[in-house]
Chain A
Amino acid sequence: MFYLIKNFTLFSFIALYASLSQAELTIQITKGSEKAMPIAIVPFGGQAGQTAIPVDIAEVVDNDLNRSGYFNTLPRKDMLTKPTTPEEVRFRNWQVLGQDYLVIGQVIPEGGRYNINFQLFDVYKNEQMLGYRMTVPSNELRKSAHHISDLIFEKLIGKKGDFSGRIAYVTVNKEPNGRKKYNLEVADADGYGPRTVAASYEPVMSPAWSPDGRMLAYVSFESKASAIYVQVLATGKRTRVAYFPGINGAPAWSPDGSKLALTLSKDGSPDIFTLDLSSRSLTKLSTGYSIDTEPVWSPDGKHIVFTSDRGGKPQLYMMPARGGQVKRLTFDGAYNAGASFSSDGSSLAMVHGNKGDYRIAVMDMGSRTINVLTGGPLDDAPSFSPNGTKILYATKQGGRTVLSVVSIDGRMQQKLVLNSGEVREPAWSP
């Protein structure tokens, strides 16, 4: 057994709070889509009334749909009219502009809350496809706008929208005295409203969302050694769930939320374990002298995919979630690690490396073929969006680490750039 520091007073403290972060992410679209559907999102009525509405709902929806890669939205300056009720719509006005779909709506303040209604029309069939009404407090206007985007996306594309999701990530900022500060942050999927979940002068890494999106598991070195914490986002309450000698890393939630898969090296080499969160009992799933790490569960909870160098170089392997026979999954390339499953289990994203060049690749779990999606050379930490149409990952831009989103068909690419410092280790909420 190696000696480990036990005196808490020596440790540097970690700060946990929920103030709005000063670090803002902004989106740059680096590659648009050519096959996108033309759609017009008219500014909602009531926006210009006596009472200022704090959120431009139509603008949020416009940005969501435009960035999805599936839609090409009509700029407001090109609109001939700006109807806000179905009676005001003249379909010919939108046909001549080449629009397939039209969205209109209203936001009306009422007793401190807001009544939102919107309609989606098929411009060529001259018919309404969707109509919804909702009442929300002012602090949920953005959330409602993302929900509207989800409804429109699902109606027109046939897959659940993922605009209401959130992202967790780690920022690293160097202070004037040279010390690095590590922040764990959570923001809307469009980068809006970042909030600091935990901050430390020691590394924080590997955030993982609970299946219900209420908690984050993450690794913190605040005790000068790695430990895994589980933190409830709404209350900030957190629990240290693993603090063994050696590595405590790579937490991943089981689909039912009852267990964490994790990496521990307490027995010598890094091995995969599962930890039952209520009984705190540990089960060891992998053995041997090799590095076994980065476990992820298949969405049906039956298998665990992990990275191992048992064959000489890091590759992905799969085993039953209760342990058992291990099968090698990847054979292309010298380096395949850091796996992430799509929510339907049909695709597995990974860091795919050849001769020092690292890109994000996706394996089709049916055919086991690999498709490389990104240009490298230093791409890392892939994470699927909730509906599996996009992958969030970390990359380098001008010597800085930034986040990037690529659609799995490669049609759309965008970057989320932090106003200062580095942003890494992204994880998209379920």
Chain B
Amino acid sequence: MKLNQSVLALAIMAALLTGCSSDDETATDFMDGTQGGTADASLSGYGDGSGISGSETYGSGSGSGYGSGSAEYPNAFLGSEFSDPSNPLSKSTIYFMFDSSQVQQDFIPVIAAHAQYLVSHPTRRLTLEGHADERGSSEYNIALGEQRAKSVARMMKVQGVSESQLQIVSYGEEKPAVDGHDESAYQLNRRVELLYQGQ
């Protein structure tokens, strides 16, 4: 099958490039509130008596915080191939079946194209945002969204992408792409978004 051949070709290429993925000094750079034992003092809130009006502070970035690319082509800032509809790199969303984290065949070329890009650009980092539709329990949907993102990450790693280039976050049902409450909305909400970091 054609798809499997392209995956195999990438895997071989990836094997040749393994030595290039060196950017992993940040692999353990995560915040761990329990090890530091730190109360997050900078964010202490206001209680019953002190109701301070006008003290609301919010970040000034955009809603997604991943640069100012258009909604349709969020990675367009990386180059024209990311907004050329004939190039698989222009596709940044992988959709899933109900209650499933299995990648469907249609999306394998898209994942392969992004994997190839990451292998040839080892300093680039990609955030895989996992999402679920609103049906069922919200914490289970967080887990489901993470499994979807991990399925995509696993395919990319098989193709030679370094683990340190990939960051996973699951929002479950909390950030739907579409606000409706029917299957036409749900199928657009069961997704993994591929969002490159930096600009």
A interface residues, Cβ below 8 angstroms from B: 1-6, 10-20, 178-180, 182, 197-201, 203, 205-206, 221, 223-227, 229, 231-247, 249-250, 263, 265, 269-270, 275, 280, 282, 291, 293-294, 307, 313-314, 335, 337-338, 351, 353, 356, 358, 378, 380-381, 396, 399, 424-425
Known: A15-B57, A17-B55. A294 touches B33 (CB 8 A): no
Give CA–CA (A22, B39) in the complex, Å.
Answer: 30
A2 and B163 within 8 A (CB): yes
Chain B residues closer than 8 Å to A263, beta-carbon distance: 139, 142-143
Q: Nearest Cβ distance between residue B102 and chain A, in whole angstroms? A: 13
Stretch at the interface among B9-17, B42-50, B83-91: B42-50
- A262's nearest neighbour on chain B, judged by CB, is B139
Give CA–CA (A245, B57) in the complex, Å.
Answer: 26
Q: Mark B160-189, 1 if CB is under 8 A from A, else 0.
A: 000111111111101100001100000000
B138 and A282 within 8 A (CB): no
Judge whether B34 is part of the interface by a CB distance below 8 angstroms. Answer: yes
Question: What are 16 pairs between A and B in contact, CB < 8 Å?
Answer: A2-B163, A14-B43, A235-B48, A240-B38, A243-B30, A247-B143, A270-B143, A280-B34, A293-B142, A294-B137, A307-B137, A314-B140, A338-B139, A351-B136, A353-B135, A378-B134
Judge whether B51 is part of the interface by a CB distance below 8 angstroms. Answer: yes
Give CA–CA (A182, B138) in the complex, Å.
Answer: 15
A244 and B32 within 8 A (CB): yes
B interface residues, Cβ below 8 angstroms from A: 26-34, 37-40, 43-53, 55-59, 61, 63, 65, 98-99, 125, 134-140, 142-144, 146-147, 153, 163-172, 174-175, 180-181
Give CA–CA (A198, B47) in the complex, Å.
Answer: 10
A16 and B45 within 8 A (CB): yes
Chain B residues closer than 8 Å to A335, beta-carbon distance: 136
Q: Nearest Cβ distance between residue A350 and chain B, in whole angstroms? A: 9
Chain A residues closer than 8 Å to B168, beta-carbon distance: 2, 246
Of A206, A225, A235, the residue contacting B47 (CB under 8 A) is A235
Of B26, B57, B65, B163, the residue contacting A13 (CB under 8 A) is B57
Known: A1-B27, A338-B138. 12 other contacts (CB 8 A): A2-B167, A12-B58, A17-B46, A19-B51, A20-B51, A229-B40, A236-B47, A237-B39, A243-B34, A247-B146, A380-B136, A425-B138
Chain A residues closer than 8 Å to B48, beta-carbon distance: 18, 233-235
Give CA–CA (A280, B33) in the complex, Å.
Answer: 9
Chain B residues closer than 8 Å to A199, beta-carbon distance: 56, 58
Q: Nearest Cβ distance between residue A106 and chain B, in whole angstroms? A: 29
Chain A residues closer than 8 Å to B180, beta-carbon distance: 399
Chain A residues closer than 8 Å to B29, beta-carbon distance: 3-4, 6
Give CA–CA (A341, B153) in the complex, Å.
Answer: 37
Chain B residues closer than 8 Å to A16, beta-carbon distance: 43-46
A356 and B58 within 8 A (CB): no
Q: Nearest Cβ distance between residue B75 and chain A, in whole angstroms? A: 17
Chain B residues closer than 8 Å to A245, beta-carbon distance: 30
Give CA–CA (A280, B35) in the complex, Å.
Answer: 8
Give CA–CA (A205, B174) in the complex, Å.
Answer: 8
Chain A residues closer than 8 Å to B46, beta-carbon distance: 16-18, 236
